[in-house]
Amino acid sequence: MTMRYMQSFNHRLRRLREERSLSVIELADLCGIDERRIHAWESAQPQGRQYPDVGELVHLCVRLGAALETLLDLEDASNAGQLELPGLTNADGDELVRAVTELERALTVVQPSDQERELLRRFRAADQEQRQMILQLLVP
């Protein structure tokens, strides 16, 4: 059964991926998952379609630089202002704590470290020639 806020997820994900000129393989690499997951998420066939869990959904939004509402059908939700995430419907307190803990863990994984932020700051401060040299060193 598809949750109401995920009904057009497959179309929204595909459109967002295409707007960013990413192939399925490129998006899978960007998210660190198997490309079959992306194919399953974008599947036009309801029988073969799958949905990301909370951590994957947040990771996907962070990697694509997209707001959560870009991928979910929130405007049609009957409970305006309420957001149910996969795995949280009819959740008891323990399930909710586990889901929030999983979400925090997923957010921690995608957050850059202090060292990564400093590298990004320095990269952004570099001129175009320096950036090219840095990229040549990093990309095999």
4-113 architecture in CATH?
A: Orthogonal Bundle (1.10)
pLDDT tens-digit series, residues 3-49: 667 788 899 999 999 999 999 999 999 988 999 999 999 999 888 88
- Which pLDDT score is estimated for 96? 60
Give the C-alpha distances (Å, rounded to integers) separating 127 from 59, 98, 122, 130, 132. Answer: 30, 45, 10, 5, 9
Gap between the Cα atoms of 119 and 127, Å rounded: 14
Region for residue 112 given its phi and psi (left: phi exceeds 0; alpha: psi -120 to 50; beta: otherwise): beta
Q: Where are the domains of the chain?
A: 4-113
pLDDT tens-digit series, residues 68-92: 888 887 664 444 444 445 544 444 5
